[in-house]
Amino acid sequence: MSNLRKQAMDAVLTAARHDISDTLKEQGIENPHDEDADGAVFDVAILYAYRVFVRICEQEGLSVTPEEFVDYAAELVEEMADDADNA
């Protein structure tokens, strides 16, 4: 990974950490290792993935819907599972 890509990823992860912390506080979750905290982390991670997906598509002149994100993500997960099974 290039230095620029690493810096960009670090910036996204830092922002996500802040959002996770804020979400835990908003939901009154005190233990960051319980099931409710896990759900909050998953929600933030998926939301970030969706936002990045939409921004990249917009920059490339594509309009996308949330349903398309779900469809493409599901296809990718299936391909990754197949690759793992064949490895």
Domain of 20 in residue numbering reads as 3-86
**37-70 pLDDT, tens per residue?**
999 999 999 999 999 999 999 999 999 999 999 9
pLDDT mean over 59-86: 94
**7-23 pLDDT, tens per residue?**
999 999 999 999 999 99
Mind giving me the DSSP string for 11-39?
A: HHHHHHHHHHHHHHHHTT---TTSHHHHH
Q: How many domains does the chain have?
A: 1
C-alpha 55/C-alpha 34 separation (Å) is: 32
pTM exceeds 0.85: no
83 half-sphere exposure, CB direction, 13 A CA radius: 6
